Structure 1
Amino acid sequence: MEDVQRDVERWDGWFEDFFALLAGLWCRVEPRLTARAYIKALLGPVERKNTWQIAAYLGHTAPDKVKDLLRKTTWSWSQLRDRVREFTVEYLGDPEAVLVLDETAFLKKGDKSVGVAPQYAGITGQTENCQVAVFLAYITPYGRALIDFALYLGRLWAGQAARCGEAGVPRERAGKVLTKPELGRIMVERARCARVPFAWVAADSVYGQDRKLRACLQRHGKGYVMTVPCDETVTAGPVGPMRVDKLVQRLPLVFERRSCGQGAKGERFYDWALAEASWPSPAGEVRRGWCHLLLVRRSISDPTDIAYFAVHARTGTTLATLVKIAGLRWGVEDCFETAKSDCGLDQYEVRKWEPWHRHIALAIAAFAFLSVSATRTARLTRPREDTQPPTDPEPAIAWPPLTPPPILNP
C-alpha cells in the first residue's frame, strides 16, 4: 500500500510540473482548474470519457463546467497544441527523430458532427459515416507522441457555407477542400518552422504520392521513406520513366530478409531490396550529398504482395536504416490505439469545430504526459539509448510501456 501511495504522489508531482507549462493558457482560475481536472480525468479510470462521465468523476453534480471548457470559455486550442509539441520535444526530442503522417477515423451517427461524411475509415477498412483527422506523430528512441492534428473536411463540407456556419467552421477553412496531403504539408512545415528536431518523415501512400510534400522535404534537407502507389512514375538508371511496379519487374533486385520492428505477433519480417532511382519532384535535382532511392518490401508468405517506398536520404544511408525508418511508421498506430483507449481521444460528444479541436488538444496533452512519464520512469532504471544508427543487425526499438498512471488525485 505504501508503494502505491508513493506512485500516486510521484505521478501527481509530475502532473503538476506538466500542467504548470499549460496553465497560462487560461486567464481565469476556474477554467484553469477545470482544464487541469479534465486532463486528469482523461488519464483516470473513467469508463467513457465524455463530459457527463468526466464531470461525475470530478464530483460535479452537472457537466456545466466541463461543457463550458469545451464550448464557451475563452482559450486557444492551437496554443495548447503548440505547448504539447514543446513539452514533447523537451523530453523526447532527438535530431534523428521521425515525423509520421497518418489519419484516423472517428465513427459517428447522424450528419451534424463537423466533418462527418461517408468516407473510408482505416479502423474498419471500409466506408463508414465518420470524421477523419490527419495527425502528426513524433517518434524517437525514447518515446512517441502526437504533436499536431487537422480535421479533414471533404466536398460534402468545404464550400457548403450554411452547413459549415452551423458547425462553427472558420471561414478560411470552409471555403475550399484541403486534401489530406495538403494538411500533412502544413503540419510538417509548422513543425519545421517551430525548430522541432527531426531527420525523417514517414507516411503511407496517401502522403507519399504527394510530390509537393516530397519536394518540400527535399528543399529543406530532410529525409523521407514514404509508400507510393504502384502506378507512381520512377526512373532507375537507363530504365524508365515508367510505373514503379513495372520497373521493379525489370530490375535485378537482391532481396534481404529483415525485421522492420515489433508487431502485435512479434517481429515483422519482410524481404527488402534497394535500388538507385529518380523520383519526379518540383524541387528539381537533389542536393549534393543526397540521393533518391527506391525501397521495395515483399511479403514472405505472399511474394505478390509488394510495397514501394520513395526515399530521399543522405548518400551512403544503409538498407538497415531505411528498413528501420519504414517500420517506425507503425508507431503512429500505437499512438492512436493508446490515445483512444487510455486518453479518450475518440470519446467526445461534441459536434462543432471549436469544441472538437479543444477536446482533441486536451487528449493529445494527456497522451504526451503519459508517454513522457513512461520515459522518465524508464530512465530511472536504464541509460538513454544511443541515437546513432546501430550496427547491423538492426535491433528493434523497445519503447517504455504506456500504462495508465495510478489513480491521480482529482
Structure 2
Amino acid sequence: MPKRAWQKLSAGAGAKGRRFYDWAVIDLTDPRPGSRQLLIRRNRSTGELAYYRCYSPAAVPLTTLVRVAGSKWRAEEFFQSGKGLAALDEHQVRRYPSWSRWVTLAMLAYAFLAVVRANEHNRHPSPDELILLTCNEIQRLFITLAIQRAIDPVHRLGWSLWRRRNQARSQSSHYRRQAAQA
C-alpha cells in the first residue's frame, strides 16, 4: 500500500487513553449489491497488520469503518468482564435448562453491577482526584459489605478510596505521557 493510503485514526478509548493505529481501506469488486471493502489496521509501533472484511448497503467513509471495528473491542471487553465478575463461564453444561438458568442468573448479576455503576456515574461525577467506580470495585465492595462481613466496613471503604485515588494518578500520568509522545 502506498504511504498516502494510511491514515492515523483512533479505534476508541482504551485503558491508557485513545488507541491510535494506521488504517487503510481497499474497495473490493463484487457484482452483488452493496459495498464490500477490506479494512487494514497497522500497529504504529510493531507494524503488525490486522484485516477486516466489511459490508455495508452503501459505501461508507473510513472513519465509520474504524469506529465500527473499534466497537468490537468493547463487546469483547464486556464478555470478558461478564466471565470474571459474574462467573458467566463457570457452568458445566450438561443440559440446556440448567445452562439457561445459570446464564440468566449470571447475566442478572452482571446487569446489577452495570446498573449500579451507571447510577453512580450519573449521580456523582468523579472529582479529578478519583476514578469513577468500576464494576470490579462495586463487586468488591458488595462482597465485603453485604456478603462477607469479615473486614471492618470503614476500613474497606477507605481502602477503596485510596485505590481509586492512586488509579486516577496513574491514569493522568499515562494520558500526559501519551500526549507528550504525540
TM class, shorter-chain normalised?
Answer: 0.5 to 0.7
The reply to whether residue 293 of structure 1 matches residue 19 of structure 2 is no
Residue aligned with 2:5, SS: coil
Residue aligned with 2:135, SS: coil
Write the distance in 1 (CA, Å) between the matches of 2:135 and 2:71. Answer: 17
Write the distance in 1 (CA, Å) between the matches of 2:61 and 2:116. Answer: 33
Number of the residue aligned with 1:272: 23
Q: Structure 1 residues 278, 370: closer, same or farther in 2, change over 3 A?
A: farther
The reply to whether residue 312 of structure 1 matches residue 55 of structure 2 is yes
Q: TM-score, normalised by structure 2?
A: 0.59
Number of the residue aligned with 2:160: none
RMSD, aligned CA: 3.2
The Cα shift of 1:348 comes to 3.1
Write the distance in 2 (CA, Å) between the matches of 1:313 and 1:259. Answer: 21
Number of the residue aligned with 1:401: 134
Structure 1 stretches of at least 4 aligned residues deviating more than 6 Å after TM superposition: none
**Cα distance per residue 1:231-271 (max 9 Å; x no partner):** xxxxxxxxxxxxxxxxxx5x786101122123355432211
Q: Which residue identity does 1:346 align to in structure 2?
A: D
Q: Which residue identity does 1:277 align to in structure 2?
A: L
The Cα shift of 1:354 comes to 2.4
Q: TM-score, normalised by structure 1?
A: 0.29
The reply to whether residue 325 of structure 1 matches residue 58 of structure 2 is no
Number of the residue aligned with 1:357: 100
Residue aligned with 2:69, SS: helix
The Cα shift of 1:347 comes to 2.6
- Structure 2: give runs of 5+ residues left out of the alignment: 126-131, 148-182
Greater share of helix: 2
The Cα shift of 1:343 comes to 0.9
**Cα distance per residue 1:367-402 (max 9 Å; x no partner):** 1222233223222346xxxxxxxxxxxxxxxx9732
Number of the residue aligned with 1:191: none
Q: Structure 1 residues 351, 299: closer, same or farther in 2, change over 3 A?
A: same
Number of the residue aligned with 1:376: 119
Matches within 5 A, 1:34-73: none
Higher relative contact order (CA 8 A, sep 6+): 1
